[in-house]
Amino acid sequence: MKKITPVLILAIAVLLILPVGYNGLRSVLLNSGFGWTATEWTYYALLIVLGIALAFITASLVARSAAWKRITASALTAVLPFAIGFVQHPIYEDLLWNLSQDMTKVETTVDYYNADLVVIAIADCPYCKRAVTEMKALHERNPQMRMRMVVCTADSAWLEPYIEEAASAFEVVLADNMDVMATHAGGHFPAYVQVSEGKPVCRWTNNEWGPVAKDLVEKGQVRGTKDEVR
């Protein structure tokens, strides 16, 4: 058993570092009811725990070496799993705090009616296509959440790729007022807008949208933290 344990710990560490392990862990945790932020931090916590375990194993393997060699080898082994995991999956601001911008004083449009989350997109936008995947993931966890993708384009043909990808998880429509919606997006697409009683409350740009934002949207908390959108 003593010989198996180090191999098992090393195998788990390697698996977590690989994309398949990271994605698999996220899937299991999210399906188990973990929040988006808790899921990400659990991954990093596991890397730290595995690093410490590997450090003890390394120390035992070089027990007869000089003290400085044991300490150096153990320290390097301890930080290695987290370091590799961090390089592949960096910790961005959207995992630390709410980056939303207040929208309570902007004018509303019919695009926000009967919705809890509105994603403002443009035609043929790769980031907007990725937003469809994000919305579908939210829909799977929150079937009752009313979501809508509003596309700023005059040509309805550009809706088809989004509609096909959405697979009826939410509606995809043309913007009722493209100029207003583009302004609400701040010129950055896609933009995720939290809605309450038909009025926009706060907004995340694509770079601000992350685990913390998803948790706030799921909980219905709509407190903006930045300057107002005008």
| pLDDT tens for each residue of 53-84 | 888 888 887 767 777 777 888 888 889 889 98
Of 23, 26, 21, the residue nearest 11 (C-alpha):
21
Residue 226 reports pLDDT greater than 70: no
Amino acid at 202: C
Return the H-helix or E-strand segment holding 171: strand 171-174
Backbone dihedral angles phi then psi of residue 152, each to the nearest 5 degrees: -85, 85
Residue 6 reports pLDDT greater than 80: no
Domain 101-219 has CATH 1.10.3720.10: no
Q: Cα(80)–Cα(227) distance, rounded to whole angstroms? A: 40
pTM of the model: 0.85
Q: What pLDDT is recorded for position 20?
A: 83
| pLDDT tens for each residue of 153-203 | 999 999 999 999 999 999 999 999 999 999 999 999 999 999 999 999 999
3-state secondary structure 4-73: HHHHHHHHHHHHHHCHHHHHHHHHHHHHCCCCHHHHHHHHHHHHHHHHHHHHHHHHHHCCCCCHHHHHHH
Q: What pLDDT is recorded for position 21?
A: 84
Give me the numbers of helices (H) and strands (E) for the chain, helices first please.
8, 6
C-alpha pair distances (Å), 19 with each of 22, 65, 222: 5, 35, 32
Of 147, 88, 96, 139, the residue nearest 121 (C-alpha):
147
Q: Is the CB of residue 112 less than 8 Å from the CB of residue 195?
A: yes
Q: Cα(135)–Cα(150) distance, rounded to whole angstroms? A: 13
Cα-to-chain-centroid distance, residue 99 = 13
Least confident of 65-74, 129-138, 144-153: 65-74
Q: What pLDDT is recorded for position 230?
A: 45
Structure tokens at 133: 């995947």
For residue 208, the tally of other CB atoms under 10 A from its CB is 21
Domain boundaries, the chain: 4-91, 101-219
Q: In 123-167, where do the E strands start and end?
A: 147-152
Residue 192's DSSP bridge partners are 119, 204
Residue 115 reports pLDDT greater than 60: yes
